[in-house]
Amino acid sequence: MKKTFFYNLIVLAAVGSAALTSCKLSDADPEMADLVYPDALVTVKPDADGTGFHMQLDDETVLIPSNLTKSPYGDKEVRALVNYKKAEENDISSSNSYAGDDKREVVYVNWLDSILTKKMAIDLGREKNISTYGTDPVEIVNDWVTVAEDGYLTLRFRTVWGGGITHIVNLVQTVDGDNAYHVTFYHNANGDIYGQTADGLVAFRLDRLPDTGDKTVDLVLEWNSFMGKKTAVFKYSTRKGIIGKSGSDIVTLSARKEIE
């Protein structure tokens, strides 16, 4: 999902040093302002033959980096924010190989910053889910990075953060009647319920959900907000192909906030 704007946050618990450094540069040089904000949310995918990697932009487009030959995240597949520009003509022929059928765009990557990427958690039953995964309140922010695409549900969430305590977030398939595409977002603040309001980003692999075939279905997300239970509906279809290794141990954090 490509966007050319971002948002101002008190703290974003997923955007790291690259963006922060660019922000300082932009204060001194307005021409550097375009380096501050991510241009897209992508899936970083190592190529099947191990020769390089590509970035899935949407269901039909991949970005091929002209200036990077190896993924910063090794053989793990992760969701990430990226700032890039169109590659120069003489760089296109030197880009790494990609043998897929999707449309290719060769780009020059200015910076790439992973976000917390996790597998879905196991449904233990309603009461056990609550005791295990927690129900501390959050708000899901209606934003361009809150999206179901490429086999992931990526969420920008907002809650109260104190300091020095890890918040744990999980997504569980919680079948609702005949609807197998019903999931619940759980948040365990580990007692860190006082402080300032700030945001985080997390992406969940949806490989525990049944295959939608060639159809697009309504994916219903439920969570406990500061005003009680809320739901949101996303358009979802199963990603074609095999999802790679989870990158749940790869996350860039701000200096003050932590999530798992």
Any idea which residue has 């549900």 for tokens?
Answer: 153
pLDDT surpasses 90 at 151: yes
Beta bridge partners of residue 202, listed in sequence order:
116, 155
pTM above 0.95, yes or no: no
**Among the residues of the chain, which ranges form H helices?**
17-28, 89-92, 126-133
Q: Which of 149, 113, 122, 116 is nearest to 243 (CA)?
A: 149
The domains of the chain, with CATH numbers, are 17-114 (no CATH), 117-236 (2.60.40.2370)
| Interval 94-128: pLDDT, tens | 555 666 667 889 999 999 999 999 999 999 999 99
- pLDDT classification of 141: cutoffs 50, 70, 90: very high
**What pLDDT is recorded for position 102?**
72
| Interval 192-207: pLDDT, tens | 999 999 999 999 999 9
Report DSSP letters for 223-249, one per residue: EEETTEEEEEEEEE-PPSS----B-TT
Tell me the residue type at 8.
N
Q: Which residues, at least 6 apart from 100, have a Cβ–Cβ distance to it below 8 Å?
A: 54, 62
Measured distance CA(125)–CA(176) in Å, rounded: 12
Lowest-confidence region among 16-25, 218-227, 233-242: 16-25
pLDDT surpasses 60 at 165: yes
- Element of type H or E holding 91: helix 89-92
Average pLDDT, integer, range 168-177: 96
Q: For residues 224 and 4, which has the higher predicted lDDT (pLDDT)? A: 224
